[in-house]
Amino acid sequence: MVRLKNRYILFEILYPPTGETLSENIILQHRHQKNNEKLNITSKMIVYELKKMIRIYLGDQGLAKANIMLQMKYFNSTTSMGILKCSFDFYKIVILGLSMIQQLSTGGDNGSFIKGMFINVLKLSATIKKVEEFGIERNKKLIKRINFAQRKNNNLNIDFESVDKSIIIQIF
């Protein structure tokens, strides 16, 4: 009997794009939404758009390969982080599909889209435990950077007092 091997992909959604060029500034700007609008992104929307992108760029055969073990294990709309489970043999197809997503349909009757967003793949691992640990450690480092920026007052144009640190650490 052959054992099926899986890969777990930790990703985050970054939206809307900012004028910042430094990657850490983009992440800090993303974590604090100035307009405070809550975007109702669900795991179904992400999986649907992922399958659509794989079908567009790789065709039916690419979609069939990627769809063998594809499953959303975790998604938190507050932190915009999620974990996808996929087959070991075709994880590159899933990562390609994630990197091609630039908009998400909201699923409403008016056909509206969340535009200008992109997905950042953070970690690929064979176990879900390692992916979870990486996500938690990454959020702890982000909180340290926010605290450091508060002390140094480096003018990132972010109101750090309104950043809810419990939301940033609460990935799992």
Q: Is 113 helix (H, G, I), strand (E, B) or coil?
A: strand
Q: Which of 96, 81, 85 is nearest to 9 (CA)?
A: 85
Question: Residue 103 above 70 pLDDT?
Answer: yes
Q: What is d(CA 42, CA 49) in angstroms, rounded to the nearest whole number?
A: 11
**What are the residue boundaries of the structural domains of the chain, listed by start?**
6-169
User: CA-based diameter of the chain, in Å?
Assistant: 60
Higher pLDDT, 162 or 13: 13
Predicted local confidence at residue 63, as pLDDT: 93
Which tokens go with 11?
């990703």
110-124 per-residue burial string, b: 16 or more CB within 10 A, e: under 16 = eeeebeebbbbeebb
List the CATH code of the domain at 6-169.
3.30.70.3250
Q: What one-character DSSP code corresponds to residue 42?
A: -
Q: How confident is the model at residue 98 (pLDDT cuts 50, 70, 90)?
A: very high
> What pLDDT, in 10s, does the model give residues 106-124?
766 566 777 778 899 999 9
Radius of gyration of the chain (CA): 17
Q: Quick one: average pLDDT of 134-141? A: 90
- Between 1-5, 48-52, 81-85, 110-114, the lowest mean confidence (pLDDT) is in 110-114
Q: What one-character DSSP code corresponds to residue 35?
A: T
The residues, ordered by sequence, that sit 6+ positions from 111 with a Cβ below 8 Å of its Cβ are: 105
